[in-house]
Structure 1
């Protein structure tokens, strides 16, 4: 699918972007444009991939419509990763989150349609499901814009992929815990009952490709992900990095807009959701999109009300295996 094609990645200098580029290069594309506003991150990333002429780095912001239009010229596929992602930042600066996560997404849609892009893949989050914070609200609006874009054109297809937390990304709890364990023998936990969805970055990108290959356009692919208690994750890391020294665990309390448990699928959405396979659910839209319902007519509907991080929690040993597989345990 990507052989000899041109690909644009917005917000491509983050953890998702690095892994996405690494796996895309194996598929022999003609060009990969990494579009982001951070000059130093682009320089650092260009050094990492310095021997690959396929990569082109473009300074720009998804808020800037002209820059997005220019970066999209001649492009076959767009992976839309650019977003303000940190919950507290979006809570205290909601207008900035709106500009990037909503207006920026609409700029990507308009540019893709104008330039005849084949498919746009929007990366979303579990926080878009029944949102309790402004970040979640903006990502939910972004999903709606992406899905609705399918009725605006017959040429470009738009699809969302919704996932939970990806282990080891920038600002990940893994890095925060390891730093606290090694330097202070102390870590902070929001709430000892808190649960989250987790997946390694390599597995997340593989699932992202699957949705890209197999999507029709107009749906939301929901990654099935392991869930664990944050306290259990912390204990695995403590046992690994401080086996002979006691580490204090401080309960900090839930931050503004934060949930105790996350959802990847809401009760409302479950009425329009099918079981795609053992790796994905697919949420079908409530608006009519030509050919979409026929595409999924033979798939079974989900037999659950919600898909919550408080269900099917993995054990200490399973968390340890997941961290080893992800390269987070030395």
Structure 2
């Protein structure tokens, strides 16, 4: 991770009061040498709690705003060098009953972020995606795939006079607010059986610190239009339950509408324009890439698909327990 690019610069984070935003702010304040961080979110209570958590650090600038509001975004991005776009509606089952709200935030809101960043002359933007955006089977995943396409194509917009944009896509985040770990811990403390969606289920997993490292490194590596995917391990949901509550009883509850048995981060179709580069895969856009932009090595084999059940890296229950402690 290189911090030199960020020295004396300003970063804005949308959806900054979430688990990822909080960890990014913490790391950025301690390691990146920033002059200021703009905390952009719509929840005043969470901002107030976060302000107290960081001891009212003068480098933090607090802005109440929604990514649905393009004018508010434009004002907030005045003088900003880098943007981390983390704001999104994320609940799979809720999305199926509130489709318009998810489109308005995840798709139209993302376009607002792009428009404001370009108009404000932001240097670089990294948008956060999800494994559910690859071959999506639910509205949440489909809305994030649309957002991914918006960001990777925005570099080709003739109105864009220098703002570079890319996307990072990763799996479930250990320790995040929406993970199964807090639920399992609460139930285990009461001696209750743990609900398992399906005993065969697998997922990609990444820690908050790893996710932040990956985002920061992507700012340095990006040229524009890339989709960066980390090479991370998979885990079995049963192993997660065993790691959190050894010996606890479990019961299957079945998959929710729109849920996959195994997750995917790179489809076979996308793999045709994907390259392996160190700790990551780089998915190149369908347009705007010349032969000179293509890597000279790391091409993936025909038929490659990056799925959680066929991954070559795995976490055991003991590995998970060590990470959580």
* TM range, smaller chain: over 0.9
Aligned partners of 1:78 and 1:117 also within 8 Å:
yes
Q: Is 1:66–2:66 an aligned residue pair?
A: no
Name the SS of the counterpart of 1:163 in structure 2: coil
Deviation (angstroms), 1:320:
2.3
Instruction: Describe the shift of the 1:166–1:179 C-alpha distance in structure 2 as closer, same or farther (beyond 3 A).
Output: same
Out of 286, 300, 309, the position equivalent to 1:302 is: 300
What is the TM-score of this pair, normalised by structure 1? 0.93
Partner of 2:254: 253
Out of 93, 116, 136, the position equivalent to 1:111 is: 116
Partner of 1:219: 226
Out of 167, 172, 175, the position equivalent to 2:179 is: 172
Deviation (angstroms), 1:60:
0.5
Partner of 1:283: 283
Name the SS of the counterpart of 2:178 in structure 1: coil
Aligned partners of 1:274 and 1:283 also within 8 Å:
yes
Partner of 1:15: 19
Partner of 1:32: 37
In 2, Cα distance between the equivalents of 1:127 and 1:94? 16
Within 5 Å, give how 1:315-330 maps onto structure 2.
318-325=316-323, 328-329=324-325
In 2, Cα distance between the equivalents of 1:268 and 1:249? 37
Aligned partners of 2:152 and 2:165 also within 8 Å:
yes
In 2, Cα distance between the equivalents of 1:274 and 1:266? 13
Name the SS of the counterpart of 1:28 in structure 2: coil
What is the TM-score of this pair, normalised by structure 2? 0.94
In 1, Cα distance between the equivalents of 2:311 and 2:230? 15
Aligned partners of 1:109 and 1:146 also within 8 Å:
yes
Higher mean C-alpha deviation, range 77-86 or range 50-59: 50-59
Aligned Cα RMSD in Å?
1.5
Deviation (angstroms), 1:18:
0.7
* Deviation by residue 1:28-56 (Cα, 9 ceiling, x = unmatched): 11110010001110000000112421001
Aligned partners of 1:116 and 1:155 also within 8 Å:
yes
In 1, Cα distance between the equivalents of 2:241 and 2:312? 15
Instruction: Describe the shift of the 1:225–1:315 C-alpha distance in structure 2 as closer, same or farther (beyond 3 A).
Output: closer
Partner of 1:234: 241
Unpaired runs of at least 5, structure 2: none
In 2, Cα distance between the equivalents of 1:30 and 1:299? 38
Aligned partners of 1:87 and 1:258 also within 8 Å:
yes
Instruction: Describe the shift of the 1:322–1:296 C-alpha distance in structure 2 as closer, same or farther (beyond 3 A).
Output: farther
In 1, Cα distance between the equivalents of 2:165 and 2:314? 37
Unpaired runs of at least 5, structure 1: none
Name the SS of the counterpart of 2:298 in structure 1: coil
Q: Is 1:271–2:279 an aligned residue pair?
A: no
- Count of equivalent residues: 317
In 2, Cα distance between the equivalents of 1:44 and 1:51? 10
* Deviation by residue 1:180-205 (Cα, 9 ceiling, x = unmatched): 11124211011000100001111111
Deviation (angstroms), 1:90:
1.1
